[in-house]
Structure 1
Amino acid sequence: MRVEESFIPVYGVGETTERDLWRAGITHWDAFDPSAVGSTTADRIQAYIDDARESLAAGDTTFFAEQFPSQARWRLYETFRDNAAFLDIETTGLDQYRDDVTTVSVRLGGETTTLVRGQDLTADRLRDVVCDADMLVTFNGARFDVPFLESAFEVNGLFDRPHLDVMYPCRRLDLTGGLKRIERDLGVERDRPDLSGEDAVRLWREFQRGDDGALETLVSYNREDVDHLETVTERVVSRLHADIVPEDCPL
């Protein structure tokens, strides 16, 4: 679902009204017919469409992050997917003030970049790999990855762009647990299903003791997280689209 097919950001337009518009053939901003709703709602919809068109043409993705309700932010994905940055980090623990970020993987434009602590993981490199993305996609990143990175590298503002934390759309589909469990539920297979977050901590410690192979495994594990996050996002967004669009709707 593209943003041009959504009317739910408009005050007074809920999912029921939106479905009625779709059923009436108003499945795109260009097809909006003011006579389909009351005059006040029509004025609000038209004002939103005018602002949204201007923002989309200008590449202002922040506008849509602000306008769409948080539970509907998954709808931004199809529009901005080509320049979405999938991000995942590994750390030495769960405390952003005491523990360290060890690796950061970012998948953007079909390519995955991994930054390693003590090598190329710096604030400048983070900005380089994320700054041009139209949106950010994480799993539990709103509570973990983003605050951890902001605390560790003082990159406040870097992540001020639409952020789709896929954990929450997953919950709407009764897909619960961690990313790896959800991958299994969706039929996504891992090369190393035996590895976990605890193993990531262990691997980093082994690397610090001189085991270069441990770092190679850790990097591979972290990269697989973001690669699979893209697959999970695609499948979850597709399911949510099917759930909200009526069968008799041409959308």
Structure 2
Amino acid sequence: MRIENSFIPVRGVGETTERRLWEHGITHWDEFDGSVVGETLADRIEAFIDEGWNHLEQGDVSPFAERLPASSRWRLYENVRSETCFLDIETTGLDASCNDVTTVSLHRGGDTKTFVKDRDLTADRLSRELEDSSLLVTFNGQRFDVPFLETCYDLEVSVPHVDLMYPCKKLGLDGGLKEIEQEIGIERELPDISGRDAVRLWHEYERGDDGALETLVEYNRADTRNMEPLMDIVADRLHEQVFEAARQPE
């Protein structure tokens, strides 16, 4: 599903109205003809479509992210799949005011980069990486990863953001990232490592154990890489559940 299939970013259009449009064969902006809805709402939709094409031509999905509910931002993914950045962080604790970010991994275009505290993990480096991305994907990053980075590195993360936890919940996939991976069949090479283990590994590295850092980095990178197949599966399932189901005649 692409942004051009969506009408819910328009003020006054909820999921019920959008589904009614789809059921009447209006499944793409190009097919909207002002029928099905009232004149005032039709004018709003037409203005949204005109403005929307301009944003898409510039590769900017920010305006749509601002208007979509968190559980529906997965709709942005297909438009900017190749410019999507998957991000995960490790920290020394849960409070950004007194704990540190130890590693940050970013996966984009088949390439994974990891930055390490006191080595190459800097605000400038993070800013450059995020500026090169059209979409940010995390798991629970809306409440944890992004606020943590913004606090510790005085950043303002403005790139459109899909927190996978919310579309997963829409599919009935609850629990943490690893539990959901196991449920849908995404495999990991590393044994399960908890957040507490990640803190322990960092402290062991600080005491001189370079192997502990290698394990921590690989764990962080696995979290980041595995979000891509999860995003693919979630987007495909929601496409079928939300969009294709509405297009099928009863």
TM-score higher than 0.5? yes
In structure 2, stretches of 5+ residues that fail to align are none
Q: Which amino acid aligns with 1:179?
A: L
Report how many residues are paired.
248
Query: Matched residue of 2:85: which SS?
Result: strand
Judge which range, 225-234 or 67-76, deviates more: 67-76
Structure-2 residue corresponding to 1:212: 210
Task: Kindly report which structure 2 residues correspond to 1:54-73, keeping only aligned pairs within 5 A, or say none.
Answer: 54-73=54-73
Mapped to 1, the partners of 2:11 and 2:201 lie a distance apart of: 50
Q: Which amino acid aligns with 2:118?
A: G
Structure-1 residue corresponding to 2:101: 101
Mapped to 2, the partners of 1:140 and 1:230 lie a distance apart of: 15
- Once the two structures are superposed, residues 63-118 of structure 1 have per-residue CA deviations (whole angstroms, 9 ceiling, x without a partner) of 11122233321211111221111110001111111111110000111111000011
Deviation at 1:30, TM superposition (A): 1.0
Contact in 2 for aligned 1:101/1:152 (Cα 8 Å): yes
Contact in 1 for aligned 2:19/2:246 (Cα 8 Å): no
Contact in 1 for aligned 2:85/2:133 (Cα 8 Å): yes
Structure-2 residue corresponding to 1:92: 92
Judge which range, 231-240 or 113-122, deviates more: 231-240
Query: Matched residue of 2:247: which SS?
Result: coil
Task: Kindly report which structure 2 residues correspond to 1:104-119, keeping only aligned pairs within 5 A, or say none.
Answer: 104-119=104-119
Query: Matched residue of 2:191: which SS?
Result: coil
Contact in 2 for aligned 1:19/1:246 (Cα 8 Å): no
Mapped to 2, the partners of 1:246 and 1:101 lie a distance apart of: 41
Mapped to 1, the partners of 2:120 and 2:244 lie a distance apart of: 49
Deviation at 1:246, TM superposition (A): 4.6
In structure 1, stretches of 5+ residues that fail to align are none
Query: Matched residue of 1:36: which SS?
Result: coil
**Structure 2 length normalisation: TM-score?**
0.94
Query: Matched residue of 2:204: which SS?
Result: helix
Report whether the alignment pairs 1:198 with 2:204. Answer: no
Deviation at 1:211, TM superposition (A): 1.1
Mapped to 2, the partners of 1:248 and 1:107 lie a distance apart of: 33
Deviation at 1:38, TM superposition (A): 2.2
Q: Which amino acid aligns with 1:230?
A: E
Structure-1 residue corresponding to 2:141: 141
Task: Kindly report which structure 2 residues correspond to 1:41-60, keeping only aligned pairs within 5 A, or say none.
Answer: 41-60=41-60
Q: What percentage of residue pairs aligned between the two structures are identical?
A: 58
Contact in 1 for aligned 2:130/2:159 (Cα 8 Å): no
Structure-2 residue corresponding to 1:244: 242
Which structure 1 residue ranges, 4+ long, deviate > 4 Å from structure 2? none
Query: Matched residue of 1:25: which SS?
Result: coil
Deviation at 1:16, TM superposition (A): 2.3
CA gap of 1:105–1:152, structure 2 versus 1, over 3 A, is same
Contact in 2 for aligned 1:86/1:107 (Cα 8 Å): yes
Mapped to 2, the partners of 1:238 and 1:232 lie a distance apart of: 10
Deviation at 1:197, TM superposition (A): 1.4
Deviation at 1:248, TM superposition (A): 6.3
**Structure 1 length normalisation: TM-score?**
0.94
Query: Matched residue of 1:47: which SS?
Result: helix
Query: Matched residue of 2:103: which SS?
Result: strand
Query: Matched residue of 2:20: which SS?
Result: helix
Structure-1 residue corresponding to 2:171: 173
Contact in 2 for aligned 1:89/1:103 (Cα 8 Å): yes
Deviation at 1:138, TM superposition (A): 0.5
Deviation at 1:177, TM superposition (A): 1.2
CA gap of 1:177–1:249, structure 2 versus 1, over 3 A, is same
Deviation at 1:217, TM superposition (A): 0.8
Deviation at 1:247, TM superposition (A): 3.5
